[in-house]
Amino acid sequence: MRKLQVSGAHSLKAAATGILLLASMALIAAQGTVIPKTLEFGRIPGIFVNYCLACHEWAASYEGIVKAPLVVPGKPEESRVWILVSEGAMPASGPSPTGEEKQLMRDWIAAGAPRPPEAGAAGGQARGGFLGFPSKLAFHRFSGWMSGSLLLAAGAIGAVHAYDMMSAAHDFRDAHGITEETMSGVCDQEIRDVWSSPGQRALGWTHAGLVVAGESFYIANFVTGLGYIGGEGPGLSKRKLHLWAFFAHGTLMAAEIVMGFMTSSALARGDHDTVSGLGVAHAAVGIAIPVIILSAGAIMGGDS
């Protein structure tokens, strides 16, 4: 009986040793096992959704991601998205991909950028949305077009406003036989009267309202556009032209605001000479600003 017990104990010990040995071998094997890249590539859509979709609509789909020159299959060093990510230029804000995620991205491009499983990233748009828009880029475009359109409308109303006041003042001058020598004082009062009339006040406030609305969208466009500055290589590009246009219409807008207040002040005083000089400059700059804004948007077209 004792021999059976000893034999059983040895058997259990041997079995336990065998199990531990097999577990150790399995652990060693698991540590040396590499998950096939084709399976790892299934993470690629999520990486683009997490780090790119907030600003770039193309990150919502496989077709958008592999659109040249963003991704050049088989050539990471020629793929714009890899160049910017590897240099740390993108994402422009927020968390950046981990070193392991960057390596996976590079390996995926080097492997020919194959379509990963479930590459449509159908659920990504909700996570990457911005203020009800598919992405921050979509809102940036919308605010830019709205700003340009509203400021263009403001310029048109301002032109009608100026033409009506000038016509009324000139009709008064001609009806009373006023000349350049005798216009001082008399015409100044007429300018003040015309400018303060209900019809001109309505046009003036409409013009001001459109300017404020356009400026509001302009500020939103400016804030969302900050994240797109940088990451450009040498040479001329559409992004650089877009950026230079922004600085141009930004400078003109500051000048336009100053001239607008000065023109209103001159009208309130009935200062004919100042109104004539500032009015032309104010109108020219007022039309130039939305033209440059809309042209800047047209330069980019559908680019992200």
Return the pLDDT at 302: 55
- For residue 124, is pLDDT > 80? no
How confident is the model over 66-79, as a mean pLDDT? 89
Return the pLDDT at 217: 92
How confident is the model over 97-110, as a mean pLDDT? 92
How confident is the model over 206-225, as a mean pLDDT? 90
pLDDT in tens, 78-93: 999 999 899 888 887 6
Q: Which residues contact 158 (CB under 8 A, 6 or more apart)?
A: 207, 282, 283, 286
How confident is the model over 160-174, as a mean pLDDT? 80
Return the pLDDT at 6: 40
Assessment of whether the complete model's pTM goes beyond 0.75? no
Residue 303's pLDDT band, with cuts at 50, 70 and 90, is low
Q: 18 or 82: which carries more pLDDT confidence? A: 82
Q: 227 or 146: which carries more pLDDT confidence? A: 146
For residue 256, give the nearest of 303, 227, 220, 293 by alpha carbon. Answer: 293
d(CA 52, CA 165): 52
- For residue 210, is pLDDT > 90? yes
Residue 24's pLDDT band, with cuts at 50, 70 and 90, is very low
For residue 41, give the nearest of 126, 118, 128 by alpha carbon. Answer: 118
